[in-house]
Amino acid sequence: MNATYSSQSKLIELETKFQTIFNCNSEGIYRTPARINLIGEHIDYNGGKVLPCAISYYMHGLFSIRNDRRVVAYSNNFDSKFSADIDTISYKKRNSWSNYVFGVFAILKEEGFVIPCGVNILIDSNIPLGSGLSSSASLLDLVFYLVNDVFNLGIDLERIAKLAQKTENEFCGLRCGIMDQAAIALGKKNKALLLDCGNFKYEYKEMALRKYSFVVLKTNIPHNLVKSKYNERVEECNKALEILKKTFEIDNLCQLYEYQLPECENLLNDPILFKRVKHVVTENERVQQFSAAMTAGKTEEMGRLLCESHKSLRDDYEVTGEYLDTIVEAAMNAYAIGARMTGGGFGGCAIALIENRFFEDFRFRVDKEYFAKLKIHPDIEEVEIVDGPIKIK
Ligand code: GLA
């Protein structure tokens, strides 16, 4: 399915649509992927290490230059069009998805970049929305990448990731970390990105999985509440950090070690805050162990760590919910050697590590168990690990 998404016929279809919507030819096509996070969840905004990779779901952006100063954005998925003046852009709830396009122009202006004229942009995507596969980061990276290239702004991929995060934080109001924007901007085929979110140092890790693969499990429950719940977790972590800073010399929670947890528990004197800190500290440790296991090809160990991560997100960080828990359980009852939620949680997607030869039966069994319990079907797909943004033509 994903291979055909960027096929010649699909691109022609998009160009034709562009002509219909904007009454002119498109002048170029750009593409960004989606992402999964293998491990290191909800610790990017706590200065931790994460291990995401770009996957083969895509967002396409087509553009043409305008001779006025308007940005006109059309979504082929929603069949909706919004327009704004480059010089007076502000966040408006009624602009829904197009805030992610307009926000890019607002942040570029704030950063001192001069955009000489308006643009028409058509967006088309097969990244399921609200699925935890980062459709919003993909859209932000796409628009930054496109605008940067079209107007020769000279922004590198690392800065694109940082500006995209800034847009999401300051323009769109989600206090997310840098993981998604970086995973997509810096994605590399068959490699995972080991990113230290405390200092933005990163390296690529070979995904030595041999006969195993990561499979994406969509709960088909969009994570609607994520914005408020997500910001609530960020707030809890900040609160815990303020308290712990008085005793420990730390700038972020991921600078704590597991052996310090009992002391943290006393200092915090708040079971909820302690659970959050416990997740953050143990998850950061798991990322290093997982990354070492992956390099050594120790798949069983990877599987064990995935399960521990999910448990920690379920019991201590409390961001999973019935649908994610059920799908992870169903995966483990089938052939998975490890499974966990991926992304923000509260619905969305999980990943499972399975032996390739079991895929078809795995899909059948997980679907059966999940449907029996929750009366909706999940989507279960094999994905490829792919490169970051490209200009297609
Ligand atoms: C969302 C955010 C990321 C990260 C994950 C959880 O995807 O955008 O910054 O915090 O949740 O790991």
Q: What is the reported pLDDT for 1?
A: 45
| Residue 4 clears pLDDT 80, i.e. is over it | no
Identify which has the larger pLDDT, 63 or 227: 63
Q: What is the reported pLDDT for 228?
A: 73
| Residue 225 clears pLDDT 50, i.e. is over it | no
Q: What is the mean pLDDT of residues 12-40?
A: 98
Name, in order, each residue with C-beta under 8 angstroms of 378's C-beta and a sequence gap of 6 or more: 217, 218, 219, 220, 327, 366, 367, 370, 371
Q: What is the reported pLDDT for 116?
A: 97
What are the tens digits of pLDDT across the range 164-184?
A: 999 999 999 888 999 999 999
Confidence at 38, pLDDT banded by 50, 70, 90: very high
252, 46 Cβ separation under 8 angstroms: yes
Give the pair of three-digit tokens for residue 299: 């798949």
Which candidate in 124, 180, 316, 367 is catalytic? Answer: 180
Q: What is the mean pLDDT of residues 90-112?
A: 96
Burial class (CB in 10 A: 0-12, 13-18, 19+), 88: exposed
| Residue 3 clears pLDDT 80, i.e. is over it | no
Mean pLDDT of the chain: 95
| Residue 227 clears pLDDT 70, i.e. is over it | no
What are the tens digits of pLDDT across the range 139-160?
A: 999 999 999 999 999 999 999 9
Confidence at 131, pLDDT banded by 50, 70, 90: confident
Ligand 1 geometric centre to CA of 15 (Å) = 33
Identify which has the larger pLDDT, 1 or 125: 125
Q: What is the reported pLDDT for 226?
A: 57
Measured CA to CA in angstroms, residue 254 lies from 149, 241, 280 at distances of: 36, 10, 7
Q: What is the reported pLDDT for 195?
A: 98
> What ligand 1 atom has the least distance to the C-alpha of 42?
12
| Residue 43 clears pLDDT 90, i.e. is over it | yes
Q: What is the mean pLDDT of residues 241-253?
A: 98
- Residue 85 falls in the annotated catalytic set: no
Helices (H), the chain: 2-5, 8-22, 99-110, 135-150, 157-166, 179-185, 226-245, 261-268, 271-295, 299-315, 322-333, 359-374
Confidence at 224, pLDDT banded by 50, 70, 90: low
Query: Angle at the Cα of 163 (from 253 to 387), degrees rounded to 5?
Result: 90
Q: Give the range among 26-35, 87-96, 217-226 with minimum mean pLDDT.
A: 217-226
DSSP code string of 30-96: EEEEEEEESS-TT-GGGT-EE-EEEEEEEEEEEEEE-SSSEEEEEETTTTEEEEEEGGG----GGGG
Between CA 226 and CA 134 the distance in angstroms is 12
What are the tens digits of pLDDT across the range 332-360?
A: 999 999 999 999 998 899 999 999 999 99
Q: What is the mean pLDDT of residues 101-120?
A: 98
Confidence at 304, pLDDT banded by 50, 70, 90: very high
Ligand 1 geometric centre to CA of 310 (Å) = 15
Between CA 338 and CA 304 the distance in angstroms is 6
**Mutational pocket test of ligand 1: of 49, 55, 139, 180, the residue with most ligand atoms within 8 Å of the beta carbon:** 180
73, 83 Cβ separation under 8 angstroms: yes
Burial class (CB in 10 A: 0-12, 13-18, 19+), 236: middle
Ligand 1 geometric centre to CA of 167 (Å) = 15
Ligand 1 site: residues with CB under 6 angstroms?
Answer: 37, 41-42, 44-45, 134, 176-177, 179-180, 343-344
> What ligand 1 atom has the least distance to the C-alpha of 43?
12
Q: Please tell me the pTM assigned to this model.
A: 0.96
Q: What is the reported pLDDT for 7?
A: 87
Q: What is the reported pLDDT for 95?
A: 93
| Residue 219 clears pLDDT 60, i.e. is over it | yes
The DSSP 8-state label assigned to residue 128 in this structure reads P
> What ligand 1 atom has the least distance to the C-alpha of 136?
8
Ligand 1 geometric centre to CA of 246 (Å) = 27
